[in-house]
Amino acid sequence: MRAACGISLEVKKDEIDLPERTKQFALTIIRLYGSLPKKTEAQVIGTQLLRSGTGAGANYREAHRARSKAEFIAKCGDVLRELEESSYWMELLTEGDISRSENLAPATQECNELTAIFITIINRAKGR
């Protein structure tokens, strides 16, 4: 995979199609938000999750079109922040007894996997 700024990312094509995968993560979050209870606390936390969960893919698209290595790294950092924030909101939904952990498990797992991928991408782009 190669970002627009020419950074080579040593990732197997059949393992990861990040534009599609981050979009699917956003769609999962959208569906998850729609399934939350209509209680105030669920909707407030859900709205935060909706923003961060959909923001990860949008920021990745920006990173993919970066004009420089520094811009690419910065935008991937934005993706990572959105994923970490999404993880936090999902923890609150579970630990606050707003949603059952099994309802959040697929989204949580994908969030964790995407986080690991973006940590690797950032480290490789920085030459670590």
pLDDT-derived band at 16, boundaries 50, 70, 90: low
pLDDT at 4: 45
Q: Count of residues for the chain? A: 128
Question: For residue 15, which of 120, 102, 124, 86 has the smallest C-alpha distance?
Answer: 120
Q: Is the pLDDT of residue 15 over 90?
A: no
Give the pLDDT score at 14: 38
Return the bridge partners of 8, or none. Answer: 2
Per DSSP, 14 falls in state T
Structural domains in the chain, CATH included, are 18-126 (1.20.1440.60)
Buried b (16+ CB within 10 A) or exposed e, 85-117: bbbebbebbbeeebbeeebbeebbebbeebbeb
The distance from CA 74 to its chain's CA centroid, rounded to whole angstroms, is 15
| Residue 2: per-residue pLDDT | 46
